[in-house]
Amino acid sequence: MKTDVIKLDAAKAGSIELSDAIFGLEPRADILHRMVRYQLAKRQAGTHKVKTRSETSYSRKKIYRQKGTGGARHGDRNAPIFRGGGIYKGPTPRSHAHSLTKKFRALGLKHALSAKVAAGELVILDTAILNEGKTKELASVIKDLGWKRALVIDGAEVNENFARAARNIDGLDVLPSAGANVYDILRRDTLVLTKAAVEALEARLS
């Protein structure tokens, strides 16, 4: 599959051949859904915690005698039915992550890239390099290109000036090729890959 390459000034910079095995698949919603759930579950903190009956700070003294009161029998105020008592089988700190095989994760990334191609939301950039890390300069370039919510993926390393300029632009994310992931690709309207990123991703997913 052949696609055009542009520069930051929107001028054409030739074309590039994209691998059909990575960019030409028929996107499957079930695979993308499982990958997004996998990523979001993995990043969930899981720090929720409540106090059990043994951890509340009430006295352990028996609140009234066992028999003869006409009421239910209780040991102390830490019982779950009392206000301020312990919680029965409440949440405890745990990991929400679940596993997916390495092959499936690679397949998910291929389908995410193919989904952007199918939707016409993939842009191939010659290089993502700026001489100065000025936000105003990059914001003007992005406005001219019509990118509102974009993810820019570069090669092994992101140009320092480009990353600094992009830091304060709302709706623009910049990642190295090693950080390319399904969730970030799908949550942005435009996916921008540099030629170095295409080479790195094809080497990673081949």
DSSP state, residue 152: E
Residue with tokens 């320092």: 160
Give Dmax (Cα) for the chain: 93
CB 156 within 8 A of CB 197: no
pLDDT in tens, the chain (206 residues): 899 999 999 899 899 999 999 999 999 999 999 999 999 999 999 999 999 999 999 888 999 999 999 999 999 999 999 999 999 999 999 999 999 999 999 999 999 999 999 999 999 999 999 999 899 999 999 999 999 999 999 999 999 999 999 999 999 999 999 999 999 999 999 999 999 999 999 999 98
Residue 166 has φ and ψ, to the nearest 5°, of -80, -15
| Distance separating alpha carbons of residues 147 and 150, to the nearest angstrom | 6
Q: Which domains does the chain have, with CATH numbers?
A: 2-45+97-205 (3.40.1370.10), 51-90 (no CATH)
The reported pTM is: 0.84
| Distance separating alpha carbons of residues 37 and 34, to the nearest angstrom | 5
| Distance separating alpha carbons of residues 132 and 122, to the nearest angstrom | 26
